[in-house]
A = this chain, B = another copy of it.
Amino acid sequence: MRAGPDRRESLADVVADIRDGTRLALCGFAITRNAVAFAHELVRARRHRLSLTQVIGGMETDLLVAAGAVDDLSYGGGSLDRFGPLHAVNRAAMAGTLRLVEYSALALTLRLHAGALGLPFIATRSLLGSDLAQALIAGGHARLAEDPFDGTPCLVLPPLRTDVAVVHVDVADTAGNAVIAGPTWSIPETVRAADTVIVLAEEVVDVGAIDPSHVHIPAALVHAVVAAPRGAYPTAVFGRYDYDGAHLRRYAQAAADAAGTAAYLDEWVFGTGTFDAFLSKAAA
């Protein structure tokens, strides 16, 4: 095995490369494996007009929307599980400052899958008859069609690609081969549908240290590897650390109104300055 290119970068460097208006995809799911370190850095860099795609929204999603970084969000729903809804997302959508494009979880995953595979489009029997389908068709994001072989009705969706996908993994080698423990929800499709993939890893190891049969994200797709130990805190990483229920509850309570949200961002994101400082403050 060859050493492969060294794709390690700092969090600051990868965030510096993300411009206003970027089509960004995130890979967290509710209260698990959120790229919180990345979201904090992006909020501090005051990026705007992001077009966000995420199959199931979570804390990272809500933080970016809370900070006013996001113009539109394509998602399949989201929450903080029992800790609460995505208050910032819901409030911005109601206020009209966030354009929501809503799918079922599978339908959005299929759009990303089609984007990943370069399929011209993809057909499904999800969403049929629902108001989700009505809204997607009205927005040009889906069409009713007939199965060309048996004439039955179905829904066709265009492929979806994004500029950058950010994913928090367990282990990555310096070339970008990445491993995820536990379930992977729509991470495979989300990263494969992006032009640029940024991997945040609990552990960064040498090339050769990962069994090539266990790789979830091949290095050929990865553009940057960022060491981010505990970078998903306060969300959980399976087998490594639990979510911090007290902090999630604190966030969910703060995010219930605009003033509380601003105060949370001031105290915990802007006020900490770095993710390490955030971790220290949260542990205090």
Contact = CB atoms under 8 A, between A and B. Distances in A.
A283 to B, nearest CB: 28
A212 B125 CA distance: 30
Interface residues of A, number: 23
Among the interface residues A120, A145, A182, which one has the most CB atoms of the partner chain B within 10 A?
Answer: A120
Q: Is the interface of A mostly helix, strand, loop or mixed?
A: loop
A105 to B, nearest CB: 14
A120 B152 contact: yes
Q: Taking the full assembly, how many copies of this chain does it contain?
A: 2
Interface string A11-28: 000000000000000000
A229 interface: no
B154 A149 contact: no
Among the interface residues A143, A148, A154, which one has the most CB atoms of the partner chain B within 10 A?
Answer: A148
A5 to B, nearest CB: 22
A14 to B, nearest CB: 26
Given A145-B148, A214-B214, A120 B154 contact: yes
Contact of A182 (B122, B143, B147, B213): B213
A272 interface: no
20 contacts: A118-B125, A119-B123, A119-B124, A120-B123, A120-B125, A120-B149, A120-B150, A121-B123, A121-B148, A121-B149, A121-B154, A122-B123, A123-B123, A143-B148, A143-B149, A145-B148, A149-B156, A180-B213, A182-B213, A214-B214
